[in-house]
A and B are shown apart, each in its own frame.
Chain A
Amino acid sequence: MAEAQEAAEVAAIEAVMEQKVERGEPILQVRNLEKHFPLTQGILIKKQIGAVKAVDGVSFDLHQGETLGIVGESGCGKSTLAKVLMNLETATAGEVLYKGEDISKVSGRALKAIRRNIQMVFQDPYTSLNPRMTVGDIIGEPFEIHPEVAPKGDRRREVQDLLDVVGLNPEYINRYPHQFSGGQRQRIGIARGLALKPEIIICDEPVSALDVSVQAQVINLLEKLQDEFNLSYMFIAHDLSIVRHISDRVGVMYLGKMVEIGSDEEIYEHPTHPYTQALLSAVPVPDPEGREGRERIILGGDIPSPANPPSGCRFRTRCFKAQEKCAVEEPLLAIPQVFRGQDTPAAHESACHFAEDVDIVGATNGEA
């Protein structure tokens, strides 16, 4: 009985996976997603005394063929978000719609089937590769789990093709991870992510562990692969310059909430949320001349604890614009009242009562 039900579920999921999504149409829709980690007290009788609200009501769309950048400080919930999307953590509430089908609650074989199409590239290429496996085994392991993708006899050739695609010598197939540098290891991680020809790749800080000169190589590789395989990326990073470079749209997270989301131009050149403005102004710019004209907003204090977030707007404790209203009423992520109906890049979703278009990076006047 249960088996029949599961088989039906898998069949349904597989039918969904077959569907084609037009470029620019949403492939992944996240609705009010929440992930709360319970805080417990007591050893024998565990009592829940609260929850760390790592992701607390996040909604956004990922479109086919685009790169959505997610930025935020450590502790804002961006990595937890990635894990929930991958179903590595179970969502507390909310939906993750993949081509219209909620995948946040599936498990077992149906989950396994979906993971073929949603893959992940991790941050640390030193710990995310098993040191006892050869590169061929690491990249070929997805084929063990999904044997239908590549028949046994073809696997070695497939792996060599993948190595070639990510710019590594196919003869390295029998080497071990320690024989590679950080940048090469990240390429191996990317090859593994590509193996099952997924539609969506979630990249969690894929270049932050790499040297500057190698970062550019990996970023270029990711962009090349996107064009080649028509991939959709969710690119999570804390480096705002890199996110701007690679993303079509950018979402800014603070304390488990999305505070502003829009196209790269909207976010970087017309940020309306004070947190985004502060983040952008804090980025050290590698140009001492250009820096002099910039106004710097230095935020006081640290991120408050996600177990006990401030009332109203969560950013108010560090915000330079905070007023009475901010402590009482939580601002919703929507196009701010002042810009509604206007045809300006400032008219994008921003969760602030006092949204204001400020040019922080000086992109519109400092062309030189």
Chain B
Amino acid sequence: MGIHATEVTADAGRGRTADSEDAPLLQVKNLQVEFRTRDGVAKAVNGVNYSVRAGETLAILGESGSGKSVSSQAVMGILDSPPGFVTGGEIVFKGEDLLKLSSEKRRKIRGTQMAMIFQDALSSLNPVHTVGTQLGEMFRVHRGTSKSEAKKKAVELMERVGIPAAKERVNQYPHQFSGGMRQRIMIAMALALEPDLIIADEPTTALDVTVQAQVMELLADLQAEYNMGLILITHDLGVVADVADKIAVMYAGRIVETAPVHELYKRPAHPYTRGLLDSIPRLDQKGQELYAIKGLPPNLLRIPSGCAFNPRCPMAQEICRTEIPPLHAVTEADGAPIQGRGSACHFWKETIHG
């Protein structure tokens, strides 16, 4: 399979044509990542599966330490190694397993076919180069364009992401831009070579709400225009509701629930998701005491046995302490299947159907 498949997808990759039919753009299968630290092995990602199609937005939701960022760093191939190691699984991008490629080949894929937007634009941009140089670098390095041509392209990109007076501002340094404008530059940089997949890691967390709305809208517009796959990593249930098609909720390195976006908010099938939804205050009503999930997120060096959520779960039984729940397919009360839903809870039926 190896050689043949590689050649086919290498051709398709440039044209962005045949591959968008039915096969997902990216498929992550049973991914495992661990960090070997002085204190022991921290299992950050323990068998994660998901897929993204062209034009689709997958949101990965989780708290700090849930493995949401680490899993996407593994996909991009920018995991700090050591201490981080991918110990198992497959990352199939356009039909080929990225984990089997040489680092040189992966470097060529990064930027041209998949790109990443980071949370903190100020520290992700180089302070001693102008934004024009940094944007143009994409074209110079990957496409071999001349300096003046690269700068022209940088101006075009800046206009595309809505930066006013791009011609003048292309020669400015990152600190001369506001937070929202910097994040637009990050987006421009990710878009530069029109990749098929964009991974956005908390793209709006550092921004104010009014600016957050602008940036999310821009991202959604561009995604629709270029028909890109988008993985949105966030801890904010509100942001997810706005843009995602489907959601994967992560806890202690596993996906505990997957669902189309409307379904998840209407009737969560995992006690953790339900707890999260109940614990956020609402803008449109004033409630009494907030529901709070008791306890703390687990230490990844000592993940609880059985279901990792069991010490904090109001529904936990004996089985939860001994057996790791698989991702059950979630069905209606009468057994009719629900498209795209899964819950890693022994008691998903009780959770969703009361």
Contacts and interface: CB of A to CB of B under 8 A. Distances in A.
Interface of A: 73-74, 181, 183-184, 211-217, 219-220, 223, 238, 240-242, 244-246, 264-265, 268, 278-280, 282-291, 296, 298-300, 302-303, 361-363, 366
Nearest to B299: A181
Contacts of B284: 268, 285, 290, 361-363, 366
Interface string B159-189: 0000000000000000000111100000000
A244 B262 contact: no
Contacts of B240: 286
B286 to A, nearest CB: 6
Interface stretch (B32-40, B86-94, B96-104, B289-297): B289-297
Interface centre among B208, B210, B217, B297 (most CB of A within 10 A): B210
Contacts of B266: 289
Given A244-B286, A245-B286, A362-B284, A212 B237 contact: yes
Contacts of A220: 289-290, 292
Contacts of A366: 284
Contact of A284 (B236, B262, B290): B236
A289 B265 contact: yes
Please give me the 3 A-B residue pairs with the lowest Cβ-Cβ distance, nearest first: A284-B238, A245-B281, A216-B279
A303 B281 CA distance: 27
B286 A288 contact: no
A183 B292 CA distance: 12
6 contacts: A74-B179, A212-B279, A217-B292, A268-B283, A286-B237, A299-B214
B77 interface: no
B265 A238 contact: no
B220 interface: no
A183 B64 CA distance: 12
Contact of A286 (B216, B265, B290, B294): B265
Given A212-B235, A241-B282, A283-B238, A288 B265 contact: yes
Contacts of B180: 302
A302 B181 contact: yes
B63 interface: yes
Contacts of A286: 237-238, 240-241, 265, 277, 280
A296 to B, nearest CB: 7
B212 A213 contact: no
Interface centre among B178, B216, B242, B290 (most CB of A within 10 A): B290
Nearest to B260: A288
Interface size class of B (residues with CB under 8 A): 35 or more
B265 A298 contact: no
A240 B283 contact: yes
Contact of A289 (B235, B262, B285): B262
Contacts of B262: 288-289
B2 interface: no
A220 B275 CA distance: 15
Contacts of B280: 212, 216, 241, 286
Contacts of B286: 244-245, 264-265
A184 B281 CA distance: 21
Contacts of A215: 279
Contacts of A242: 281
Given A212-B276, A264-B286, A283 B292 contact: no
B283 A244 contact: yes
Given A181-B296, A183-B296, A284 B287 contact: no
A216 B277 CA distance: 11
Contact of A211 (B63, B239, B287): B63
B296 A214 contact: yes
B213 interface: yes
B292 A213 contact: yes
Interface centre among A181, A184, A216 (most CB of B within 10 A): A216
A211 B235 contact: yes
Contacts of B282: 241, 244-245
A215 B297 CA distance: 13
Contacts of B179: 74, 302
A245 B237 CA distance: 17
A73 B266 CA distance: 31
Contacts of B64: 211
Nearest to B181: A302
Given A184-B296, A279-B210, 6 more contacts: A211-B64, A219-B281, A244-B286, A286-B237, A361-B284, A363-B285
